[in-house]
């Protein structure tokens, strides 16, 4: 149930890995139905990107398999290289080697990504042509929105492990994103986590009904004893 990661690979620029092992599609699609918060819980509360990653429009909820790209600041050349590696159901995860809010992605690249079957873009940088992206229904989670254009002159890499917004993403990992944020599930764990999430979801439906009927969490979770033991005092 573990996997090996060749960390030196993280150091290398100018590499495109063509064959990656993707998380099982059915599990990814199932994870997508639960949304980011539930999957994050099912993962044991790890794998979440930083909360500065926000969707460019509200309401999207997607899941897909990661193809990763590492970009140089102010340079989106590798975006065209990663486009070729996209397979239907993938989500592109873009990391930058430095903090830079330029707009690395817009309407043309979105058109190309969609033609390749991409479901979304996750980028630890900026994006532009927001209205176009919203109109075409291509969701993006990003650190910034910026009309600032980029050049195409420096190599990065495609499908190497990347650190994106505080999370380690390996090519093929399952990515789940919605209005709450973005979570990463290692490919090898996707099936297991989907099972855990399903159980959690089943339990929550029941709890939700109880709470909606007016039952308090204090009683439903039997918290009154532990709270008293911890020293909680009620005063008037």
> Could you give the CA distance from residue 110 to residue 17 in angstroms, rounded to a whole number?
22
The DSSP call for residue 191 is H
37 binds a copy of itself (CB under 8 A): yes
- Cα 185 to Cα 18, 51, 85, 114, 201: the distances in Å are 21, 17, 20, 23, 17
Q: How far is the CB of 191 from a copy of itself (least distance, A)?
A: 13
Q: Using CB under 8 A, which residues numbered 64 to 103 contact a copy of itself? A: 72-75, 77, 79-81, 83-84, 97-103
* Interface pick for a copy of itself out of 24, 61, 89, 191 (rule CB under 8 A): 61
Q: Which is nearer to a copy of itself, 26 or 209 (CB)?
A: 209
Token pair of 105 as six digits: 């992605």
230 binds a copy of itself (CB under 8 A): yes
Question: Is residue 185 within a helix (H) or strand (E), and if so which, with residue range?
Answer: strand 181-185
3 binds a copy of itself (CB under 8 A): yes
Q: How far is the CB of 90 from a copy of itself (least distance, A)?
A: 15
Q: How far is the CB of 23 from a copy of itself (least distance, A)?
A: 13
DSSP three-state, residue 91: strand
Q: How far is the CB of 199 from a copy of itself (least distance, A)?
A: 15
* Interface pick for a copy of itself out of 91, 139, 181, 197 (rule CB under 8 A): 181
Token pair of 74 as six digits: 């102010």
First to last CA, the chain: 54
Q: Which is nearer to a copy of itself, 225 or 230 (CB)?
A: 230
Q: What is the x/- site pattern for a copy of itself, positions 100-139, by CB under 8 A?
A: xxxx--xxxx-xx-xxx---------x-xxxx--x-----
The torsion defined by the Cα of 188, 190, 193 and 195, in degrees rounded to 10, comes to: -120
Concatenating the DSSP letter of every residue in 124-142 gives EEEE--HHHHHHHT--EEE
213 binds a copy of itself (CB under 8 A): yes
Q: Using CB under 8 A, which residues numbered 138 to 177 contact a copy of itself? A: 144-149, 151-155, 163, 166-168, 170
Which residues, listed in sequence order, are joined to residue 94 by a DSSP beta bridge? Answer: 69, 123
- Contacts with a copy of itself by CB under 8 A: the residue count is 113
Q: Using CB under 8 A, which residues numbered 182 to 201 contact a copy of itself? A: 183, 186, 188-189
Residues 6+ apart with CB under 8 A from 203: none
């Amino acid at each position: 149930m573990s996997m090996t990661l060749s960390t030196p690979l993280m150091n290398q620029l100018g590499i495109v890995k063509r064959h990656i092992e993707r998380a099982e599609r059915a599990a990814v699609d199932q994870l997508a139905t639960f949304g980011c918060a539930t999957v994050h819980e099912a993962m044991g509360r790890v794998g979440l990107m930083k909360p500065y990653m926000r969707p460019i429009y509200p309401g999207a909820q997607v899941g897909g398999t990661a193809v990763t790209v590492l970009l140089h600041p102010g340079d989106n050349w590798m975006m065209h290289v990663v486009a070729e590696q996209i397979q239907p159901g993938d989500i592109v995860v873009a990391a930058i080697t430095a903090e830079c809010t330029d707009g690395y992605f817009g309407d043309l690249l979105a058109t190309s990504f969609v033609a390749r079957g991409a479901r979304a873009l996750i980028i630890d940088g900026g994006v532009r042509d927001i209205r176009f992206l919203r109109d075409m229904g291509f969701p993006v989670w990003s650190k910034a929105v910026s009309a600032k254009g980029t050049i195409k002159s420096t190599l990065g890499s495609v499908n190497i492990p990347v650190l994106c917004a505080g999370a380690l993403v390996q090519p093929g990992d399952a990515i789940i994103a919605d209005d709450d944020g973005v979570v990463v599930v290692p490919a090898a764990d996707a099936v297991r986590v989907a099972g855990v999430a399903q159980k959690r979801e089943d339990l929550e439906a029941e709890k939700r009904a109880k709470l909606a009927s007016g039952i308090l969490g204090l009683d439903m979770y039997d918290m009154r004893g532990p709270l008293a033991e911890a020293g909680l005092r009620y005063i008037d």
